[in-house]
C-alpha cells in the first residue's frame, strides 16, 4: 500500500510505503467494510459539574449524562457517507461496524449508532479503569484483523482524555497507511481515498489505498467533505451529523450487538498509563479591561508574571 502527497508542482509523489501480508487492497467496485470505534463519555457541555473523590484519585462524573464522543459521531457520519449514494442514503452500499470498549451501559452508544445507520455492533466488555490508549488500540487492531475491514475511521480524540493517540497506534499495529485530522475524504472510482489534512500551515492532500486508517476532525461533516464514488459531485449533504428517525430506532433493536470479553481480544491487559491524582482547574479571576498596549505589557509582567 502507498500514500501520496501533492507537491508544489502539482505532481503526486509517494510519501509512505508499507507492506501488510495479511490483507490485500480492495478491488475497484467491491463494497467497502468500515470499522468505527465509539466511546461513551460524560456530557462535555457540563464538565463544570465534575467532582473529585476525597483523596483526589478518582473523578466523580456520576451526575453527568453519558453521550457518544462528538468526534466519534463525526467518524460514524463519515463511514455512512462512504457506504452510500448520497441521493439514496437508505440503501447501504457497504457495511459499517460500530465497536466500543465499555460496560453494559455503553450499549446505548452502539444502539444509537445502529439507529443512525450502522449495520451491526461489537462491545468489548470492560471498565474504563481496565483500559488505556495502548489497550484500546490493540483491541481495535485485533477486531480489524478478524473482521477483515477495509477502512478504520476514528474521531481524532476523545473529549475526556484528549490523548489523540489511538488512531496512530492502530495504524502502526496493523502497518496500514494512515491519515490523521482529516477534513475531507473523497472515494475514487478505483477504490482509493483522496483525503485532506488540516495543519496550522495549510492543507495537505493525500491519496490512500486500502486497507487504511483515518481519523477525522469536525470539518469532516461539512456538506461536501465526504463522498463515495457512488455519490455525484453535485450532491451536497446537510451540514453536521444525521439523526435517527423513529422507525430506524425501532429497527436498530433487531440489529446484532455482539459482546466480547477483553481477554478474548488481547492477552496482555497490563496498563501502560496510570492516573495517580487529579486536580480541578483554578477558578478564573475577574476580567480587567486595559486601554493601552503599554498597560497590558506591564500587567503581564508585574501581576501575571508571564513576561
Domains of the chain, with CATH numbers? 2-302 (3.40.50.620)
Q: How many Å is the maximal CA-CA distance in the chain?
A: 67
State the Cα torsion 280-159-217-208 to the nearest 10°. 120
Q: Is 244 left (phi over 0), alpha (psi -120 to 50) or beta?
A: beta
Looking at per-residue pLDDT, the higher value among 199 and 105 belongs to 105
Quickly state the pLDDT bin for 63 (edges 50, 70, 90). confident
Q: What is the pLDDT of residues 154-177, one digit of tens each?
A: 999 998 888 899 999 999 999 999
Q: What is the pLDDT of residues 175-218, one digit of tens each?
A: 999 999 999 999 999 989 999 998 788 889 999 999 999 999 99
For the four alpha carbons of 84, 90, 94 and 96, in that order, the dihedral sign comes to positive
How much is the pLDDT for 43?
84
Quickly state the pLDDT bin for 22 (edges 50, 70, 90). very low
Q: Which residues contact 183 (CB under 8 A, 6 or more apart)?
A: 196, 197, 198, 203, 216, 217, 219, 220, 222, 225
Average pLDDT over residues 134-142: 96
pTM of the model: 0.83
Q: Which residues contact 235 (CB under 8 A, 6 or more apart)?
A: 86, 87, 227
Average pLDDT over residues 140-151: 97
Chain mean pLDDT for the chain = 87
For the ranges 20-29, 66-75, 196-205, the lowest mean pLDDT is seen at 20-29
For the four alpha carbons of 92, 94, 97 and 98, in that order, the dihedral sign comes to negative
Amino acid at each position: 500500500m502507498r500514500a501520496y502527497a501533492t507537491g508544489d508542482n502539482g505532481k503526486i509523489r509517494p510519501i509512505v510505503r508499507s507492506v501488510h501480508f495479511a490483507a490485500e487492497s480492495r478491488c475497484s467496485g467491491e463494497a467497502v467494510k468500515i470499522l468505527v470505534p465509539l466511546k461513551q463519555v460524560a456530557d462535555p457541555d457540563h464538565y463544570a459539574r465534575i467532582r473529585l473523590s476525597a483523596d483526589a484519585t478518582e473523578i466523580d462524573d456520576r451526575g453527568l449524562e453519558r453521550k457518544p464522543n462528538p468526534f466519534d459521531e463525526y467518524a460514524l457520519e463519515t463511514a455512512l457517507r462512504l457506504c452510500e449514494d448520497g441521493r439514496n442514503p437508505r440503501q447501504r452500499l457497504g457495511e459499517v461496524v460500530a465497536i466500543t470498549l465499555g460496560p453494559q451501559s455503553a450499549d446505548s452508544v452502539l444502539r444509537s449508532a445502529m439507529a443512525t445507520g450502522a449495520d451491526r455492533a461489537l462491545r468489548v466488555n470492560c471498565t474504563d479503569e481496565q483500559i488505556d490508549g495502548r489497550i484500546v488500540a490493540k483491541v481495535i487492531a485485533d477486531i480489524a484483523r478478524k473482521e477483515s475491514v477495509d477502512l478504520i475511521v476514528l474521531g481524532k480524540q476523545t473529549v475526556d482524555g484528549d490523548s489523540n493517540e489511538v488512531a496512530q497506534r492502530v495504524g502502526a499495529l496493523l502497518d496500514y497507511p494512515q491519515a490523521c485530522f482529516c477534513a475531507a475524504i473523497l472515494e475514487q472510482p478505483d477504490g482509493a481515498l483522496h483525503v485532506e489534512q488540516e495543519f496550522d500551515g495549510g492543507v495537505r492532500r493525500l491519496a490512500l489505498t486500502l486497507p487504511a486508517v483515518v481519523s477525522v476532525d469536525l470539518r469532516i461533516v461539512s456538506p461536501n467533505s465526504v463522498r463515495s464514488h457512488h455519490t455525484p459531485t453535485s450532491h451536497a449533504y446537510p451540514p453536521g451529523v444525521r439523526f435517527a428517525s423513529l422507525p430506524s430506532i425501532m429497527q436498530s433493536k433487531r440489529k446484532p450487538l455482539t459482546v466480547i470479553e477483553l481477554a478474548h481480544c488481547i492477552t496482555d491487559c497490563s496498563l501502560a498509563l496510570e492516573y495517580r491524582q487529579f486536580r480541578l482547574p483554578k477558578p478564573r479571576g475577574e476580567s480587567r479591561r486595559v486601554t493601552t498596549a503599554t498597560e497590558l505589557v506591564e500587567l503581564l509582567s508585574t501581576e501575571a508574571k508571564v513576561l
